[in-house]
Amino acid sequence: MKRILALLAVALISACTTAPNGTPELADLRATYRAVSDVPEIRANAAYFLHQADEAIKRAGSTFDAAEYDHQIYMARRYLGMAQAVTKRERSKREVEQLTDQHNQLRRKLRAEQEASASRHTEVLEAELAAMEATRVDRGVMVTLQDVLFTLGRTDLIPSAQDELRTVSNFLRNHPDRILVVEGHTDSLANTNYNRVLSERRANAVKHALVAQGIDPDRIISRGYGEARPIASNRTETGRQRNRRVEIVILTESETPPSSE
Amino acid sequence: MVMPSWMTGALALLALAGGCAGPQFTESPTVTLSGAEQALKEARATRAAEFAALEVQMAEDKLEQARSIAESGEQLGRSRRLAEQAEIDARLAIIKAETERLQQMRRQLEETIELLRKDLDS
ipTM of the complex: 0.76
Looking at the domain assignment, is residue A55 inside a domain? yes
Q: Which residue has the higher pLDDT, B24 or B116?
A: B116
In whole angstroms, give the CA distance from residue A129 to residue A186.
25
Same structural domain, A90 and A140: no
The tally of domains found in chain A comes to 2
Q: Do A95 and B116 touch (CB under 8 A)?
A: no
Query: What pLDDT is stored for residue B2 in this prediction?
Result: 45
Whether B99 sits inside 8 A of A88 (CB atoms) is yes
A45 and A66 within one domain:
yes
Q: Are residues A44 and A79 in the same domain?
A: yes
Mean pLDDT (chain A, rounded): 85
Check whether residue A106 and residue A56 sit in a common domain: yes
* Parallel, antiparallel or unpaired: strands A245-251 and A140-146: antiparallel
Q: Which residues have C-beta within 8 Å of that of residue B7, sequence separation ≥ 6?
A: B73
Contact status of A19 with chain B (Cβ, < 8 Å) = yes
Distance from CA of A151 to the nearest CA of B (A): 48
Rounded Cα distance, A78 and A56, in Å = 10
Q: Are residues A215 and A181 in the same domain?
A: yes
Q: In the prediction, which pLDDT does A211 show?
A: 92
Inspect the interface and report whether the beta carbons of B92 and A85 lie closer than 8 Å.
yes
Is A176:A220 a contact under the CB 8 Å cutoff?
A: no
* Percent above pLDDT 70 for chain B: 76
The verdict on residue A16 lying in a domain is no
> Least CB-CB distance to B106: which of A58, A86, A92?
A92
pLDDT at B18: 43
**Does A241 share its domain with A152?**
yes
Q: Is residue A5 scored above 50 in pLDDT?
A: yes
Per-residue pLDDT at A7: 55
Test mutation, A69, A73, A78, A94, chain B, max B CBs within 10 A: A78
The answer to whether the CB atoms of A107 and B116 lie below 8 A apart is: yes
Element (H, E) at A246: strand A245-251
Give the model's pLDDT for residue A250: 86
Q: What pLDDT, on the 0 to 100 scale, is given for residue A2? A: 59
Q: Are residues A113 and A224 in the same domain?
A: no
pLDDT value of residue A150: 74
> What's residue B20's pLDDT?
44
Residue range A52-79: average pLDDT?
Answer: 95
Instruction: Tell me what pLDDT residue A148 has.
Output: 66
A109 close to B (CB below 8 A): yes
For residue A97, give the H/E element and its range: helix A66-131
pLDDT of residue B24: 47
Examine the domain organization and report whether A143 and A211 are in the same domain.
yes
pLDDT of residue B29: 65
- Specify the pLDDT at position A49: 97
Quick: pLDDT tens for A95-150. 999 999 999 999 999 999 989 988 887 787 778 777 777 777 888 888 887 766 77
Question: Are B20 and A12 an interchain contact pair (Cβ–Cβ within 8 Å)?
Answer: yes
- State mean pLDDT over B43-55: 93
Cβ pair A67:B78 closer than 8 A: yes
Chain B closest-CA separation from residue A179 CA (Å): 27
The predicted-structure confidence for A203-220, as pLDDT tens digits, reads as follows 998 998 899 999 999 999
Tell me how many degrees the CA angle B74-B30-B15 measures, rounded to the nearest 5. 60
CATH number at residue A188: 3.30.1330.60
How far, in Å, CA of A239 to CA of A232, rounded? 5
A15 vs B86, which has greater pLDDT? B86
Q: What is the pLDDT of residue A47?
A: 96
Min distance B38 CA to chain A CA atoms (Å)? 17
Q: How far is CA A236 from CA A145, A150, A188, A195, A233, in A?
A: 20, 20, 11, 18, 6
Do A99 and A137 lie in one domain? The reply is no
Instruction: Tell whether the model's pLDDT for residue A185 goes beyond 50.
Output: yes
Q: Residue A3 — very low, low, confident or very high, per pLDDT cuts 50/70/90?
A: low
**A5 lies in a domain?**
no
Write out chain A residues lying below 8 Å of B105, CB-based: 96
In A37-188, at which residue ranges do the beta strands (DSSP E only) sit?
Answer: 135-137, 140-146, 180-185
User: Residue B29 in contact with residue B76, Cβ under 8 Å?
Assistant: yes
**Judgement on whether residues A64 and A92 belong to the same structural domain of the protein:** yes
On whether residue A60 sits in a domain, the answer given is yes
Q: Is residue A25 located within the same domain as residue A95? A: yes
Interface contact A85, partner B, CB < 8 A = yes
What is the pLDDT at residue A166? 83
Contacts of A103 in chain B (CB under 8 A): 109, 112-113, 116
Burial A197-213 (b: 16+ CB within 10 A, else e): bbbbbbbbbbbbbbeee
CA distances (Å), origin A7, targets A13, A14, A62, B101: 10, 10, 22, 60
**What's the confidence (pLDDT) of residue A98?**
97
Instruction: State residue A176's pLDDT score.
Output: 84
Task: Please name the amino acid found at residue A59.
Answer: R
Tell me if A212 is assigned to some domain. yes
Are A86 and A105 members of one domain? yes
A126 in a domain, yes or no? Answer: no
Q: Would the pLDDT of A10 be above 70?
A: no
SS3 A164: helix
A110-to-A103, A119, A121, A228, B117 alpha-carbon distances in Å: 10, 14, 16, 50, 9
**Residue B9 pLDDT exceeds 60:** no
Whole-number average pLDDT of chain B: 82
Residue B53 has pLDDT above 60, yes or no: yes
Strand order in the sheet with A180-185: A135-137, A140-146, A245-251, A180-185, A220-224
Domain ends where: A93, A121, A149? A121
Q: Residue A189's domain spans which residues?
A: 132-251
Residue A256 lies in a domain: no
Phi-psi region of A42 (alpha: psi -120 to 50; beta: other; left: phi over 0): alpha
